[in-house]
Chain A
Amino acid sequence: MCGINGAFAYHYAANPIDRSELVAVRDHMIARGPDGSGLWMSADERVGFGHRRLAIIDLSPSGHQPMSSADGRYVVTFNGEIYNFDALRRSLETRGHVFRSRSDTEVLLHLFAEKGAAMVHDLRGMFAFAIWDTLEKSMFLARDPYGIKPLYYSDDGWTFRFASQVKALLAGGGVSGAPEPAGIVGFYLFGSVPEPYTTYAAIRALPAGTSMTVARLGAPEPKRYHSIAATYAEAQAFDAPPTPAAATIQAALRESVRDHLVADVAVGAFLSAGVDSGALVGLMRDAGAVDITTVTIAFEEFRGQHADEAKLAEEVARSYGTDHTTRIVTQSEFSADLPRILEAMDQPSIDGVNTWFVAKAARERGLKVAISGLGGDELLGGYPSFRNVPKLVGWLRLPGNLPWLGKLLRSATVPLARAAGLNPKLPGLLEYGGTDAGAYLLQRGLYLPWELRHWLDADLLATGLERLAPLAMIARALEPCPRSAFARVAALESSLYMRNQLLRDTDWASMAHSLEVRVPLVDSVLLKAAAPYAGRFDGRTGKQLLGSAPSKPLPESIIARPKTGFTTPIEDWQKAMPDDPHPKSGHQHLTGKNAPWAREWSTKIARYQICGSAA
C-alpha cells in the first residue's frame, strides 16, 4: 500500500526523463508512503520508477521498491496488497523460482516472468503496478478488478507518465492542466468523475480490471481482463446451483476475510452500526484475529437520534471483545480540516469526508491497516436502487420507447416542478426511467443532463456530454448483460458508484492519513462465489445472511435496523461555508430544499477542485 509513479520516454524524439520531475511526483504522495522511498532509472535514462512505501508486509529493507528481478530483466513498482501471495509464491517455488524476500512485490516479478500479461488472472487483492521489461523495452501496467487502488496516466505523444494520484502527476510539472469537459460534466452528473476521465484532458485513469503494455508507440487502448457484469452474466447463464446460497456465500465471506488479514502489522476495523462492518469484525475474530482495534465516528448533532452509530457500534464491539474507540467529530474540527480535505481530495467528489475522519481516528489509534465494510450493499443488494431501478424500468419501459414523449413531458413539466418546489429530477422520469441505464442515472444522478446548462459553459457542456455519453457509459457497465435485475443493479452500483466514488474517496481519504483500508466485501473471488445466487436474496435477507455469517452472529438489533450508511452532519456544516458560485440567472430551485442536498455541497467542491467550471 503505497504511492507509485513512473515515466517512459518512449518516442525517439523525446528527451530523457527528468529525475527531478520523477522525485517531485513521488514526493507529492508522501502521505501514501511515509516509511520510505525509492527511485530507479534505467542507464539510458529513458525510463524510471518512483515509489513511496507504507510498510505492511515484509517490513525489512528486502521489501524495498522499485524492486528488480534477480537477473535484472524486470523492475516493478507496486501499490496494494496481493492477498494470495503466499500461495502464489509456493506454487512458483515448486516450478523453480527462487525468492529473495518475503514480500508480495517479488511474487509479481516472478509471476510476470512466467506468465506475462496473463498474470493478472492469478492475483487476488487490490493493486496497481507497473513492470518494466528491460529486454522488450516495454512497460506493463495493471489495476485490480474493482479499481480499489488508483492508477492514472498521461501520454503527451512523446512521454508516458503514471502515478497513483492525479494531483501528483500535475505536481511534476510535465503534464498539462487543461480541463477535460467529459470529466467536469461527469462530476456534475454523478458527484464523482467517471473513469477513465479525470477533470484534466491530459490525464486518464487506467480503468479497473484492465491492463496495458506501453512500448515504442506509447499508450495503447487498455485491455479488459475482468468485468463485474460478465461475472454475473456467466454465473447466471445456467440455473443457480442447488447448494443453499447462504452456506456457500458465508463460506466465501469467511475465506475473503481470512485472506484480507495477511499483514505484519496489526489490522483493525472501522465499525458502524451497520451489518457489514459488524459482521466483518465477527469474521475477523473467527479467522483468529485477537486484540482487534475498532473505531467509530460520532457527532454531537446526532446524539440520541437514529443516525447516531455510537451506541450500537459499542454494543457490537462489546459483543466481539474489541478494543473500541468512539471518536467525536465536531463542526469546528470539520472547518479546521476542510482545507486539508480539499487538498487531499484527488479528484472532485461529493463524498469522502466521513472516511477522512474515521481514517484519522484509526491512525490516532496507531493503526496502519483497517478493514472496512464497503461493498456489502453492492454485493448483497442493500441500496434502494435494487428495488427502485427494476420497478421504474418495469413501469416505464413501454412509454420510454417513445423518446420524444419523454422529452416533451420533461420540457412541459420543468416549470411546474419548479413552481411546486418538487424534486427537480422528477420531470425526467419518463425520459430516463424506461431503461436500466436511464433509471440508474435518475437514481444516482446528482444532476440530470438538462439541468447542467445552468452551471456550465455551453461549449464545455456540449463537448463534455458528447464525449461522456452518460447513458452509453452506464450501459457499458452492463456488457454482457446479466439476466436478473438484481445482478444488473449490482453490476451498475459496483462498476459506477462504488468504483468512481466510494473506492476512490476511500483511497485518498485514508491514504492522506497513511492508513491502508482493506475491503473484504470487494473481492473478485467472493463475487464469483456469490454471483450464481444473485436475486435469490434481497437487501433484507442478504444482510441477514451476512449478519449471521460469524460463528457468533450479530445481535438482531443490528441486523433488523434500517440502513443509514455512514452519515455525517455535513449537510448542515457545509451551509457555513462561503456560498459561491451561484447558478446562473435565478435557478436556485436546482439546489432548493427538495433537491438532493449534495448539490449545494458539489458547487462548493467544484469551486476548489475545478478551475473555471462553475458559471
Chain B
Amino acid sequence: MKILALVTDGFGASGGIGQYNRDLALTFSQNSRVRGLAVVSRFGNEKAARVAGINQGGSHAHWLPWSLTALRKALQMRPDVIFCGHLYAAPLAALVARSLSIPLWLQLHGTEAWTAKSPTVRRASETATLVTSVSRYTRSRFLEWCNISPTRVKVLSNTFTAATEKPTRPSALAADLGLSGRRVILTVGRLSAAERYKGQDRIIAALPAVLAQHPDAIYLVVGSGDDRARLSALAQTTAVADKVIFASDVSVEQLPDYYALADVFVMPSTGEGFGIVFLEAAALGIPVIGGSADGSADALADGRIGRMIDPCDVAAIADAINLALAGKQPCDRSAVERFSQSNFENHVDALLRSFGQSSGTIRS
C-alpha cells in the first residue's frame, strides 16, 4: 500500500510530535506492506534529515503552500491511505481521503485532542477509518467530544530507544551546577508561562517538606521557557531559592548527562499526552514520579514504572519524593521494555493489516 502522510512537525523538527512522526514514518518505510511513503510537513528541515525510502514533499510553514503541496502529492502518488499527523490538519486530510475514496488514519498526540474542536475539525475527524492516540487518556478525552465509534480509536503509544546502561554521574557537570554531594530531584520539561502544566511550581512548593527529611536534596529544573522568572520568584518566597537550580538550553545530546545526575525524576504534570521523559528516566534506573490525571499514567504503566500521584497534591508530591530518596521505590523494568521500538513496529504492522481487512479500497 502507498501512504501519504500529512504532518505538522516532520523530519528535522524538534519536539515530541516531530519525534513521534519520525518514528512512525520510519516504521512505515520499513514495513513490508508499505510500497510507497510520502511525507508532507509544515515544520522541519528535510535537507538535514533525508531518509532513504521516504519521499519528503518539503516543509511549508504557511498552510496554503502546505495544502497545495499535499493535494499535488495526492494526485501524483495516488495513495491508498492518508495519514494525518495532527488533528488540525484533519479537514484537509479528510478532503483528500474523500476525493480519492481512500481511508483516513488520524493521529492524536495530547492536549490538542482533549477539548471540543470546531465543527469542521470534528466532522473531518468523524470520517476517519482509524484514529490512533498516544495514550488511553487522550483517547478517552477525544471520545468525549467526537461522535465516532470507540472501536475505531486505538492506542499507539510513544516509543523510545532505551539507553543500555546508566551513564556514570558526570562529576564535572555536577560540580559546575553546584550539585556535588547533593541528592538531585530532576524535572525535564518546557517552562512555558502559557501552559504551566508540568508542575515545577508544585515541586518547589513541596521542597520544604522534602528538605525537612532530606536536607541534602536539591531541585534541578532542566528546560527553557518564559516561565522561569515566575518559578525563581516562587523559590524565593518559599525560601528554597538556594535549593533550586535552573539549567536552560540543554541540548538533546547533553540530556543523558543531566539524567545521570538525578536521584529521582519528578514531573507532576496535568497536560501530558504521554510523557516519554518518564520512560527515558526509568530506563536509566532512576526512580520516577508522575501524575495520575493525564497521559502520564500510560508512561508510568499505572504505577508499575514509577509512582503515580495526584499531580495537584503538594503533600503527596513531597511524600513521594521522600520515599524515593529513601530508596523505597521499586520499578518494574519489564514494563519499561514494553515500550520498545520492536513492539511499536509490530503494532503498526497489525494496524496496517487491519486497514487491509476493514477497507475494500486498499490496493496492495
Interface residues of A (CB under 8 A from B): 11-13, 15, 155-158, 176, 178, 201-202, 204, 216-221, 463, 466-467
Contact = CB atoms under 8 A, between A and B. Distances in A.
Given A156-B139, A157-B153, 11 more contacts: A12-B338, A15-B302, A15-B335, A155-B151, A157-B133, A157-B136, A201-B140, A201-B144, A217-B351, A218-B151, A218-B154
Most B CB within 10 A of own CB, among A13, A156, A201, A219:
A13
B361 to A, nearest CB: 17
Contact of A13 (B143, B150, B338): B338
B166 interface: no
Nearest to A182: B147
B151 A13 contact: no
Contact of A220 (B145, B151, B301, B346): B151
In the A-B complex, the 6 residue pairs with the closest CB atoms = A157-B155, A157-B136, A12-B343, A157-B139, A13-B157, A221-B151
B62 to A, nearest CB: 35
A13 B134 CA distance: 11
A101 B42 CA distance: 65
B347 interface: yes
B350 interface: yes
Contacts of A155: 150-151
A1 B339 CA distance: 41
Given A13-B301, A201-B143, A219 B151 contact: yes
B9 interface: no
A465 to B, nearest CB: 11
A156 B133 CA distance: 12
B209 to A, nearest CB: 29
B118 interface: no
A12 B155 CA distance: 10
Contacts of B153: 157
A466 B301 contact: no
Contact of A156 (B140, B301, B339, B343): B140
Interface residues of B, number: 29
Contacts of A216: 347, 350
21 contacts: A11-B347, A13-B155, A13-B157, A13-B301, A13-B338, A13-B343, A15-B302, A155-B150, A155-B151, A157-B139, A157-B154, A178-B140, A201-B143, A204-B150, A216-B347, A216-B350, A217-B154, A218-B151, A218-B154, A219-B151, A463-B145
Interface of B: 133, 135-136, 139-140, 143-145, 147, 149-151, 153-155, 157, 298, 301-302, 304, 335, 338-339, 343, 346-347, 350-351, 354
A12 B346 contact: yes
Nearest to B143: A201
A166 to B, nearest CB: 16
A176 B154 contact: no
Most B CB within 10 A of own CB, among A15, A176, A467:
A15
Given A13-B157, A466-B147, A158 B350 contact: no
Given A12-B347, A15-B335, A157-B139, A467 B151 contact: no
A13 B298 contact: yes
The interface residues of chain A, by DSSP majority, are classed as loop
Contacts of B143: 201
A155 B150 CA distance: 8
Contacts of A201: 140, 143-144
Given A13-B343, A15-B335, A219-B151, A202 B302 contact: no
A469 to B, nearest CB: 9
Nearest to B351: A217
Nearest to B135: A157
Contacts of A220: 151
Given A156-B140, A157-B136, A11 B155 contact: yes
Contacts of A158: 136, 155, 298
A200 to B, nearest CB: 12
Given A13-B298, A13-B301, A217 B144 contact: no
A463 B116 CA distance: 11
Contacts of A156: 136, 139-140
A220 B351 CA distance: 12
Nearest to B137: A157
A15 B139 contact: no
A114 B78 CA distance: 43
Contacts of B350: 216-217
Nearest to B298: A13
A170 to B, nearest CB: 15
Contacts of B136: 156-158
Contacts of B151: 155, 218-221
Contacts of B145: 463
A221 B149 contact: yes
A156 B302 CA distance: 13
B343 to A, nearest CB: 4
A13 B339 contact: yes
A153 to B, nearest CB: 11
A236 B60 CA distance: 61
Contacts of A13: 155, 157, 298, 301, 338-339, 343
Nearest to B332: A15
Contacts of B140: 156-157, 176, 178, 201-202
Contacts of B147: 466-467
Most A CB within 10 A of own CB, among B139, B143, B150, B154:
B150
Nearest to A176: B140
Contacts of B135: 157
A321 B147 CA distance: 57
A11 B298 CA distance: 12
A466 B145 CA distance: 11
A219 B143 CA distance: 15
A132 to B, nearest CB: 19
A209 B298 CA distance: 35
Nearest to B299: A13
A583 to B, nearest CB: 27
Contacts of A178: 140, 144
Nearest to A202: B140
A205 B303 CA distance: 30
B354 A217 contact: yes
B346 to A, nearest CB: 7
Nearest to A174: B302
Nearest to B132: A157
B244 to A, nearest CB: 34
B45 to A, nearest CB: 31
Nearest to A12: B343
Nearest to B145: A463
Contacts of B139: 156-157
A16 to B, nearest CB: 9
A368 B339 CA distance: 50
Contacts of B304: 15
Contacts of A202: 140
Contacts of B149: 221
Most A CB within 10 A of own CB, among B155, B351, B354:
B155
Contacts of A218: 151, 154
A178 to B, nearest CB: 8
A200 B296 CA distance: 23
A100 to B, nearest CB: 36
Contacts of B155: 11, 13, 157-158
Most B CB within 10 A of own CB, among A157, A201, A463, A467:
A157
A436 B160 CA distance: 56
A15 B301 contact: yes
A497 B350 CA distance: 40
Most A CB within 10 A of own CB, among B139, B149, B151, B302:
B151
A127 to B, nearest CB: 22
A436 B37 CA distance: 50
A28 B315 CA distance: 34
Nearest to A220: B151
A388 to B, nearest CB: 32
